[in-house]
Structure 1
Amino acid sequence: MFKLKSLDGSQRMSTQDLLQIINEAVAAGETEFHIEASGQHDIGGPLWHPEGKDLNFLVKNPGQRVGSMCLEGTQIIVEGSASADVGWLNAGGKIVVRGDAGDTAAHCAASGNIFIGGRAGTRSGSLMKHDPLYAPPEFWVLKNCGSFSFEFMSGGIAVVCGYDSEKFESVLGDRSCVGMVGGTLYFRGNASGISEKDVKIRPLEEEDIAYLDGKMDDFLTSIARPEIRAELSNWSEWYKVIPLKYEERSKTSQTKILPFRTEEWVPNGIFSDVLRDDFSVIGLVTTGVYRQRVPVWENAYYASPCEFNCTASIPSQRRYNLLREGKVEEAYKLVLEYTPFPGSVCGAVCPNVCMEDCTRKNLDISVQIGELGTYSKDVTLDKAAVPKGKSVAVIGGGAAGLTVAWQLIRKGYDITVFESDEKMGGKLEQVIPRSRLPQQTLAAELKRIKDMGVVFKNNTPVDREKFSEIRAAYDAVVVATGGHKGRVIPWPGHERIVKGIDFLKGINKGKSPKVGKHVIVIGCGNSGMDAAVGAYQMGAEHVTCIDVQRPAADDKEIAHVEDLGATLMWPVVTKEVTAEGIITQDNQFIKGDTIIIAIGEVPELEFLPEGIVIEKGHLKVAGDYRIAEGVYTAGDAVKPGRMVDAIGAAQQAAAAVDAYLMGTTYQLQTKTKIDKNRLSTAYFKKCHTCDVPKADDDHLRCISCGTCRDCHMCERSCPENAIARTLGSDGNFEYISNANKCIGCGICAGICPCGIWSMHANKQPIHA
C-alpha cells in the first residue's frame, strides 16, 4: 500500500505536488493508496493504471472535488466528511463518503456510483446525465439533501434514504427537481416544495422495489451501516419522482417577469434579502446608476516603467508631455523637483535604469531619458517664497548631502553643508573620471545649489566635538558622509594593494599616481571599471580586472574598458598578493606590478556620539531615515549604491526632516508600476536608429505610460459623446465622463494608448 501524509508539522503539501506524487505512483504500478490529506483538491481522478488494474483509495480530510472526473476501475472511500463537488463529472468510478458531503455532490455525474453516508448539501445531484452507451450514474444519500437538489437532472438514478431526517420538512430540501427533464429519483420520508411544473411523484412499482432492494446491501456495506437495512426496507415509505413528459407540461404563454416577481416569487426565499427594487425593467445598455462598469480617468495614478525603475522617481513621461505641449523651459525645470544633478548624474554617470524597462524598447530603442537630463543643467527654480525660520546642517557634500540641501532650501529652511574636502561634490568631484563627467557640468550644478542659498563650508572636517557643536546650533542634522574608506581584504601581501577610491581621488586632484605596466584591478563593479580607465590614463600598458562573480558593472562601462584593451576574468578568488602579481586559490598566477582594489567602501562615522547604531560599517536607520533625535541620514552612509539611489534616499530623508521640523507625520511614498497590458503600442510608429530624434524631440516616440498625452482619442471615440476635456484655473486639463451619457462600454479604456482610463465595477447603490 502506498501511504502518504500531506502535513509535516506546520508544512502542508500543495494540491499540485500531491496529485503529481499520486500520478507518478500510479505510473509506477501502485494500486492501493492511503492518503491523509489536509484539504487538497481533486484526489482520485482521472487516473489510469498502466496495466489496467483497479485503483483503491482510502482518503481522510480531502478538499473539494474528491473523485472529480473519476474513471471506471477506481474506488475511493472517504473516512469522515468531504467538502463540495464530490464526484463532480464522475465517469465510472465508485466514490464512497462515510460522512456528510458538501454542496453539489454528484454534480454533472455521467456514470459510476456515488454513495454518501450522511447528508448532502445544496444542489446535490444537479445536472446528472446519462449516456446510453454506458451504465447510468447512481447517486445514493443516506440522510437528506439541501435546497435545489437534482435541478436540471437529465439522467441517472438518485436515491435519498431519509434516515435520521424526520425533523426536516423535506428530505430533498427546498425547490427540488427544478428543471428536471430525465432520470429517476427515489426518496423516503417527507418531501415538500418539489417543482410540480417539472416533475410528478408516484408510488413505487415492482421494478422500483427490485432495484432498491437489490442495491441497498451494496450501499449500506460501502458506508459501513449494514445494521439499518431493515429500517430502510419498508417500501411503503418510499416514493418515486420522474420528470413530466413534454405533452404533460403546461403550455402557458411565456412568463412575464413582473408577475413572476410579485406573485410567484418564493416569499422569504433565498433572494428575499436582495430583492428590494421597484420592479422596473432595466435595459442591457443603460446609463447612470445602472451601468455595470464606470470609466475613471486615472492620470498619473500608476508609475511608468521609467519612473518606477528610477530610484529618484523622476517622471520622465511628464517631461516629454510638457515638451509636446511646447512648454520647453517647464519641462527642463521639472526634473529639478527631484534632483539637483540632472546633467551630472542622469546625463553622465547614471546607468539609466529608467531606460532598461522602457516600453518603447518593444518597438525600437528606449526613449533617450539620460541625455534629456543634460538639457536641464543650466536652468533653475525659484527660491522659497516664505522662509521657515529653521536651520538644518548637512554633513557631507556629495550627491546625497547636496540633494537633501537642495530639497530643504526650496522648502524655506536655512541650509549649511559641511564638507571636509576643498571642493563640494563628493565622489562626483573626487572619484568619477573626468571622461565620464565633464567638469563644467558639475560646476554649473554646484553653482545652482549655492545660488539657491545653500551655504558651503569646505575644508571643514567634523569630529565628535564639532558634531556636538553643530547639533546644538541647528534644528536638525543630516549625516551624508558617503563611503570614502576603501575596503581591503587581509590576504598575505595586502599591504601592497592600492585602494581604488584613493587612486581615483589622486587622479582627479591632479596628483598623477604612478602605476606599473601591468595593473590588476580587484573588483569588476563600476568603481573597478573607473579604476581600470584611470590606470590606462596613468600609463598602464595592460589592465586585468578580476572578480569572484560575474562583473556587476554596467554593460557600457565594461565595453569601454575592453575597448581600451583590458581583460576581465571571473570567477577568480585571490589567495596571496606578491610583488609580481596575484596567486589565486587554484594556484594560478596573474602578472601585475600594481594591484588596485575596488570592492566597495564604508563611511567614516567615528565622529558620531555613542548610542547611534552602526552595523557592518553602516548606519542603522528607522523607517524615516532617523538615527537619533533630530539627526537623519541618507546615501552610502546607510548602504552602498548608485548615485541615483543616494538621490532617491536623500529625497525621502529631506521629507522626513521637513515632517519632523513641522511637527507632522512622515509617510514613505510608494509607487505601483503600470501593467504593460494597459498600454497600446500599436499606435506608435517604429523608428530605425537613423530616424531617432534628439532627446528633446523624443516626445514623438515617448508612449507616455500612465500619464495622459492629451491626444483626445478617448473623447473622439466615445460613441455616446460622454467624455469632455476640461481646463482648470491652474491650467491643468482633465477628461471627465458624464454619467448621464456613459453606458460603461469601455471603449475609452480600450483605445487609450497610455493606459489612463480604467473600468471599475459600479458600486453606486441603486437604493438609498
Structure 2
Amino acid sequence: MFKINTMNGHERMSTQDLLLAIEGAVRAGETEFEIAASGQHDIGGPLWNQAGKKLVFHVTNAGQRVGSMCLPNTEIMVDGSASADVGWLNAGGVITVKGDAGDTAGHCSAGGRIFIGGRAGTRSGSLMKHDPLYEEPELWILKNTGSFSFEFMGGGRAVVCGYDSEEFDSVLGERPCVGMVGGVVYARGPIADYPKDIKCTELNQEDIAFLKAGLDLFLAKIERPELKSELSVWEDWKKLRPLTFEEKNAKPAGRVTIKDFRLQEWVKGGIFSDVAMDDFAVHNTISTGLYRLRVPSWDNGKYAAPCEFSCPTGIPTQLRYELIRQGKLDEALDLELQYTPFPGSVCGSVCPNPCMEGCTRGTIDEAIQIGQLGFLSALRPVAPPAKKTDKKIGVIGGGVAGLSAAWQLARKGHNVTVYDDGEKIGGKLEQVIPRGRLPHELLEAELKRIEAVGVRFVTSCRVDKAVFTKIREENDAVIVATGGHKPRYFQWAGKELLTMGLDFLKKVNRGEKPSVGKQVVVIGCGNSGMDTCRAAFDMGAESVVAVDVQKPAAFKEEIEYVESRGGKLVWPFVTERITRDGVYANDGRFIEADEVIVSIGEEPVLDYLPEDDSIEKFRGSWLVPSTKDKSILRGVFAAGDVIKPGRLTDAIGDGIKAAYYANQYVMKEDYVPFPEKEKIPGDRLSKAYFEKCHHCELGDPQDDHARCVSCGNCRDCKMCLESCPEKAISRVENEDGSWRYVSDSERCIGCGICAGVCPCGVWSINDNPEPIKMYRTYIK
C-alpha cells in the first residue's frame, strides 16, 4: 500500500509533485494507493502496471479531473464529493464518487464506468462517445444532473436514477441532449423538455436487462444497496435516443418526391432522358459499391522491394523472410537456389551485396544481413528435375554467367553441356578470385551441386570456329558466356615491361607460385586491382602500391584488407610511362618498383564466332545482343562479360535472362518479355511502424525476419483487417497455406485507411475507375 498525505503542516504538495510520486510508485510495482489529497487534480490516470496487475486508488478531497484519461485495469474510489471533470476522457477505468460530482462528469468518456453517488453538475455526459472496437462507456448517476446534460453525446449509455430529486422539474436539467447523435440516456423521474430530434420511449426488454445487470454493481460501489427495490420499478423510467437518419427524413404520406415530379410531372422520363437513364437517386459523398469515389487494391508483390530491385540476380529476400516468419526455414533457404547456384560463393562471400545497400531497414538502423542469409543456402542439396525434355543446350563458358544459365535450364529438364577451355570449371571464381576471399572447398561443393542437377562439364575444350559450328549443330540452342579474359592496358611507353594481372592471378590460383618483385606497383584500384595486391603480398612482395586515375572503385572491405597488410593506394595518378625502375605519372611523380602489374579490366575473346555481319559489337570487342531476347544469331544467346564488364551478381542475373529466352526458343513458346518489376516507391512504406534498434548486436541472419520491412509484400500483420472502420476487409487463406486480403465493395467506402496503415505498402487507394453507365452510349 502506497500512502501519501499531501499536507505537511501548512505546506501543500503541488499537483505535479504528487503525480510524479504516484508514477514513481507505479514503476516500483505498487498497485494500491491511499491518497489524502488537498484539491490536486488528475489523480489516477493514465497509469498502468507493466505486469498487468490492477491499480486501485482510495482518494479523499480530490480536485478537478480525478481519473482523467483513466486506463483499463484501474479503479478509483473517491470518498465524499469531487470537483469538475470526473472521468474526463475516461478510456476504461472504473471511477466511483460516493458523493456529488461537479460539472462535466464523464465529459468525452470513451470507455469504462463512472459511478456517481449523488448529483452531477452542468454538461455531465457531454461528448461521450463509443469506439465499436471496445466496450461502450457507462455513466451512472444516483440523483440528477445540471442543465445541458449529455450535450453532443455520440455513444455509450448514461443512467440517471432520479433518487431524492422530487423538488426538480427535470432530473436532466434544462435543455438536455442538445446535439446528441448517438448513445442512450435512461432517466427515472420527470423530464421537462428535449430537442425535436430526440425520441423518448418506454423501456424494452433489452433496456431492462441492461439496467438490471448494472444496478447491483452501481449500488454496491456507492454503498447504497438498500435502494434497489425503489429503483427497480421500470415503469418509472424513460429512454432517450437520437432519431435515426430514416426517421429524420421520413416523408409525409401522399407527398410527391422530387424524383416523381421530374419523371412524371415535369418531363416524362426526365429532361435529359434522351441521353441519360438517370434514376435520380441521391448518393452521399461517402458511398459504397459503384458510387465510391475511391477504391482500394491489394497489390501484394506488384512492386519489387528495394533489396530485390537492387540485386541483379533478382533474389526476393523479403519472400525468404516471409517463409521464415511462417516457420518454413528450409523453404526459405531453398528459395535462393531458384535464382542462383552460388549462394555461398557469390552472395555469401564475394558479392558486394547491393541488396543491402538498397535495404529499407538500413535507413532505420542496420540493413538486413542478406549476404549471410545467402550463405546459409550454400550446402543445401537440390534434386534433379523429375521430368526431362529432349532438348539439348550447349553453354560455351564455364564462368558465373554460363553456369547460371546452365543451372536454370537444367532444372527445367533440358540436357545442358558446359564447354570451357580451363582445366577446371568455374571461370574467374576458380581461376582469379583469391582463395582468401573464397574458400575453394565451398566453390567445389557448389560446382558439384550444379553437376548433380544434370549439367555436364567439358573442360580443356578450346572452342574455335569449327568447334563452335559443331556445338551449334549438336544442340537446339547455344549460350555464349566466355567472359573477359584478354587483359586491357593503354599504349604506355614501356608497356612491354608490364605483368598482366589476370595471368598473374590465374597462376596463383593454379598453385604455380609465380615470382614477384619486392616492390610492386599495381595499375588499377578496382576489385581486380585489390585482388592483385592481395596476391602480390601472398607471393612475397614487401611493398605494394596501387595507383588509379580516379577514386578507387573497389569495395571498402577489399581496400581495408590491402591497407591492413601495408599496401597503399595513390590517386589521382595518371600513368605516363613504365621503366625498369618504376612508374612515372604525367605530373612528374615517380613510384619506385621492380615489377609493375596492370589490372584495369579485360575484354572478351570472340574469335570462335562466325564471320557474320549480323553479329553486332561494341568497339569491336563486346557483343551487342538483341534487346528483345539477348540473341546474337538464331538460337544463339549471349550473357555476362561478353556483353559488358560487370560484377559476379550481374553475370548471374544475365545468365538467368539468357536461360529464360533460350528456354522459350527451344520449347517454341510464344514470346513473352522477361518479367521486370518496378521498384516500390519509398512513400508507400511506413517505416514509423518499425522500432529502431539502437546499438543492437545483430543475431543470426534468419532472425532478421522481425526487422525486415517486407517492402511491397504482405507480412500478414492484419493491421488493415483490424483498422477498417466498415469491416470491409477479410482474410482468405488459400489451399497452399498462402493468403490474400479482399475488400468487399458493398461495404467499402473508399476511405483509404487500409493504404494508410499498411506498413509494407501493399494496399493502394485510387480513383474509382468503373464507369457509371448512365448514358445511353453504353447501350449495346
Q: TM-score, normalization: structure 1? A: 0.64
CA contact (8 A) 2:347 2:353 kept: yes
The residue type equivalent to 1:677 in the other structure is: D
CA contact (8 A) 2:262 2:268 kept: no
Per-residue CA shift, 1:619-650, capped at 9, x if unaligned? 12112111111111100011110001111111
The residue type equivalent to 1:614 in the other structure is: K
Partner in structure 1 of residue 461 of structure 2: 460
CA contact (8 A) 1:481 1:603 kept: yes
CA distance in 2, matches of 1:268, 1:503: 91
Distance 1:494 1:741, change over 3 A: same
Distance 1:583 1:658, change over 3 A: same
Is 1:315 aligned to residue 316 of structure 2?
A: yes
Partner in structure 1 of residue 283 of structure 2: 282
Q: Which of 618, 621, 630 is matched with 2:622 structurally?
A: 618
The residue type equivalent to 1:615 in the other structure is: F
Distance 1:575 1:273, change over 3 A: farther
Partner in structure 1 of residue 644 of structure 2: 639
Map 1:635-674 to 2 at 5 A. Answer: 635-664=640-669, 665-674=671-680
1:433 offset after TM fit, Å? 0.8
Partner in structure 1 of residue 535 of structure 2: 534
CA distance in 1, matches of 2:564, 2:269: 83
Partner in structure 2 of residue 352 of structure 1: 353
CA contact (8 A) 1:655 1:666 kept: no
Partner in structure 1 of residue 770 of structure 2: 764
Partner in structure 2 of residue 474 of structure 1: 475
CA distance in 2, matches of 1:717, 1:451: 50
Distance 1:594 1:266, change over 3 A: farther
1:604 offset after TM fit, Å? 1.7
Map 1:191-590 to 2 at 5 A. Answer: 276-590=277-591
5+ residue gaps, structure 2: 1-256
RMSD: 2.3
1:423 offset after TM fit, Å? 0.9
CA distance in 1, matches of 2:657, 2:378: 23
Is 1:694 aligned to residue 694 of structure 2?
A: no
1:261 offset after TM fit, Å? 7.2
Per-residue CA shift, 1:289-323, capped at 9, x if unaligned? 11111111111100010111111111000001111
Number of residue pairs matched by the alignment: 514
1:273 offset after TM fit, Å? 9.3
Map 1:64-143 to 2 at 5 A. Answer: none
Deviates most, 663-672 or 590-599: 663-672
Partner in structure 1 of residue 137 of structure 2: none
Deviates most, 559-568 or 745-754: 559-568
CA contact (8 A) 2:263 2:269 kept: no
Q: TM-score, normalization: structure 2? A: 0.63
Deviates most, 550-559 or 400-409: 550-559
Partner in structure 1 of residue 45 of structure 2: none
The residue type equivalent to 2:304 in the other structure is: A
- Identity level (%): 53
Distance 1:286 1:604, change over 3 A: same
Per-residue CA shift, 1:122-155, capped at 9, x if unaligned? xxxxxxxxxxxxxxxxxxxxxxxxxxxxxxxxxx
The residue type equivalent to 1:701 in the other structure is: R
The residue type equivalent to 1:398 in the other structure is: G
CA contact (8 A) 2:384 2:452 kept: no
CA distance in 2, matches of 1:425, 1:348: 15
1:465 offset after TM fit, Å? 1.5
Is 1:628 aligned to residue 628 of structure 2?
A: no
Per-residue CA shift, 1:74-128, capped at 9, x if unaligned? xxxxxxxxxxxxxxxxxxxxxxxxxxxxxxxxxxxxxxxxxxxxxxxxxxxxxxx
1:260 offset after TM fit, Å? 10
1:330 offset after TM fit, Å? 0.4
Is 1:736 aligned to residue 737 of structure 2?
A: no
CA distance in 1, matches of 2:404, 2:649: 10
CA distance in 1, matches of 2:633, 2:450: 27
CA contact (8 A) 1:498 1:595 kept: yes
CA distance in 2, matches of 1:435, 1:396: 24
CA distance in 2, matches of 1:412, 1:489: 46
1:274 offset after TM fit, Å? 8.2
CA distance in 2, matches of 1:525, 1:557: 9
1:342 offset after TM fit, Å? 0.9
Q: Secondary structure at the match of 1:281?
A: coil
Distance 1:744 1:491, change over 3 A: same
Per-residue CA shift, 1:323-378, capped at 9, x if unaligned? 11110010001111111111111111111111112111121111011111100012
1:600 offset after TM fit, Å? 0.7
CA distance in 1, matches of 2:644, 2:272: 60
5+ residue gaps, structure 1: 1-255
CA distance in 1, matches of 2:560, 2:270: 75
Map 1:145-164 to 2 at 5 A. Answer: none
Q: Secondary structure at the match of 1:568?
A: strand
Distance 1:363 1:475, change over 3 A: same
Q: Secondary structure at the match of 2:569?
A: strand
1:586 offset after TM fit, Å? 1.3
Is 1:682 aligned to residue 688 of structure 2?
A: yes
1:266 offset after TM fit, Å? 12
CA distance in 1, matches of 2:581, 2:358: 45
1:488 offset after TM fit, Å? 2.2
Q: Secondary structure at the match of 1:691?
A: coil
Per-residue CA shift, 1:257-298, capped at 9, x if unaligned? 759977999999999998642111112222111111111111
CA contact (8 A) 1:580 1:593 kept: yes
1:613 offset after TM fit, Å? 3.3
Deviates most, 537-546 or 393-402: 537-546
Q: Secondary structure at the match of 2:471?
A: helix
CA distance in 2, matches of 1:620, 1:338: 24
Per-residue CA shift, 1:555-606, capped at 9, x if unaligned? 2222222222221111111111000101111121111111111111011211
CA contact (8 A) 1:521 1:595 kept: yes
1:441 offset after TM fit, Å? 1.6
